[in-house]
Amino acid sequence: MILNQHLSNFLSSHGYAVEMASRGEECLEKLKSHPLPDLILMDINLGKNRMDGPATTKKIYEQYDIPVVLHSAYTDKATLDSTRDMVKYGYIQKVPGNEQFILAGIELALKLHGAQKAHKQSEAKYRKLLHRSQDIREEQNVHIAREVHDELGQTLTSLQMGLALIENDLKECRSEEKCASVTQMIGEMHDTIRAAIDQTRSLSSQLRPAVLDTAGLMDALKWLIQDYQRRMRIPITLMNENEQLELSQEKSLAVYRIVQEALTNIVRYADASEVTIEPLVGDSLLEIYIQDNGKGFNSEALELNNSLGILGMKERANQFGGDVIIKSKADIGTKVYMYMQLKEDNEL
């Protein structure tokens, strides 16, 4: 058996700064008042009637991101079993002759922890980037929507007015035959322009749902549903349509985009004859189920990397403490479940 004091001396002689604590409670106290260590070596047995190593480790993991390597002189099954849940960075056996293994174990644990930290950081960075790019897209949408609405809309309207003037002038036309054919042409042009104005409106509101600014989320969803219903020619039932959905602009837009993507997927892939949307407002959660009875797909085997639509939905919900979960069965249909926190972060 190597005594802890010997272990400490050995590690010091290899360039490590070592601080000892003889009990679990003392270790937790020291963490509060000292600079945090790079690694903790934790004895499994910390004495009778005291908090043991695994329990102390659990407390450390709840509060800090410090790798803990458990150690003991014993390797019997009972000792190892007691550590099972807490061994994340290896286990070392403290017997004479094992010193070099102990050093290697510590170095490996430090490396593993460093790699995990780097991984977490890069994941956080990727999320930030994705959210930023979603935000930028929305900002650009606002801009394009305004251009489409104001510029293109204006141009079409002035064309329409020009046509009306010509139509008026034609009333004084002398050759009846000629007049009739020009009038017919004008009529057709009116129709074309009207269609173009409708398309402009629809494009502009797809880019930026103006209803969200003027009406609440529920009305915006109703409008969205009507729009899809017209295109899909299948009934979409909105349940609980009298629920009050009063969310911040950001959350409303996120919910709107999630429902929009779910409906787009249904139009594209589901071949459904019935769609139900069910929002549920709880004390702290907003939940929405979007269900179709279409052909379904293998949602278990979904490669999120290649399914940017679904990834985007999940990220939008993640941003507000929620998620999007999809369950689908062949020939039965698809259920998209989304939830998010109703309260803002600073109100939680």
Provide the binding-site residues for ligand ADP, judged by CB under 6 A. 265-266, 269-270, 292, 294, 296-297, 307-310, 334
Query: Which residue in 265, 291, 328, 334 binds Mg ion (CB under 5 A)?
Result: 265
Nearest distance, CB of residue 202 and ligand ADP, angstroms: 20
Nearer Cβ to Mg ion (258/342): 258
Nearest distance, CB of residue 303 and ligand ADP, angstroms: 9
- Joined together, the tokens standing for residue 31 give 């963490």
**Rounded distance between C-alpha atoms, residue 35 and residue 55, angstroms:** 22
Written as one letter, the residue type at 50 is R
Nearest distance, CB of residue 291 and ligand ADP, angstroms: 9
Count of residues binding Mg ion (CB under 5 A)? 2
Span from 27-35, 95-103, 250-258, 264-272 in contact with Mg ion (CB under 5 A): 264-272
Nearer Cβ to ligand ADP (200/328): 328
Nearest distance, CB of residue 299 and ligand ADP, angstroms: 7
- Kindly state whether residue 308 participates in binding Mg ion, applying the rule CB under 5 A: no
- Joined together, the tokens standing for residue 71 give 């150690």
Nearest residue to ligand ADP on Cβ basis: 309
Nearest distance, CB of residue 307 and Mg ion, angstroms: 7
Span from 70-78, 200-208, 258-266, 322-330 in contact with Mg ion (CB under 5 A): 258-266
Q: What does residue 51 show for φ and ψ, rounded to 5 degrees?
A: -60, 130
Q: Which of the 8 DSSP states describes residue 347?
A: G
Exposure string of 292-310, with b = 16+ CB inside 10 Å and e = fewer, is bbbbbbebeeeeeeeeeeb
**Rounded distance between C-alpha atoms, residue 305 and residue 331, angstroms:** 25
Residue 43 interacts, among Mg ion, ligand ADP, none and using kind-specific CB cut-offs from 5 to 8 Å, with: none
- Kindly state whether residue 309 participates in binding Mg ion, applying the rule CB under 5 A: yes
Distances (CA, A) of 143 to 17, 139, 157: 58, 6, 20
**Rounded distance between C-alpha atoms, residue 39 and residue 102, angstroms:** 13
Residue 297 interacts, among ligand ADP, Mg ion, none and using kind-specific CB cut-offs from 5 to 8 Å, with: ligand ADP
Nearest distance, CB of residue 175 and ligand ADP, angstroms: 57
Using alpha carbons only, what angle is made at residue 304 by residues 298 and 308, rounded to the nearest 5 degrees?
A: 110
Residue 269 interacts, among ligand ADP, Mg ion, none and using kind-specific CB cut-offs from 5 to 8 Å, with: ligand ADP
Residue 266 interacts, among Mg ion, ligand ADP, none and using kind-specific CB cut-offs from 5 to 8 Å, with: ligand ADP
Residue 292 interacts, among ligand ADP, Mg ion, none and using kind-specific CB cut-offs from 5 to 8 Å, with: ligand ADP
- Joined together, the tokens standing for residue 148 give 């489409």
**Rounded distance between C-alpha atoms, residue 217 and residue 230, angstroms:** 20
Nearest distance, CB of residue 176 and Mg ion, angstroms: 56
| DSSP H stretches of helix in the chain | 4-13, 24-33, 53-63, 77-83, 99-147, 153-170, 176-207, 211-214, 217-232, 249-265, 308-318
SS3 88: coil
Residue 209 interacts, among Mg ion, ligand ADP, none and using kind-specific CB cut-offs from 5 to 8 Å, with: none
Site residues, Mg ion (CB under 5 A): 265, 309
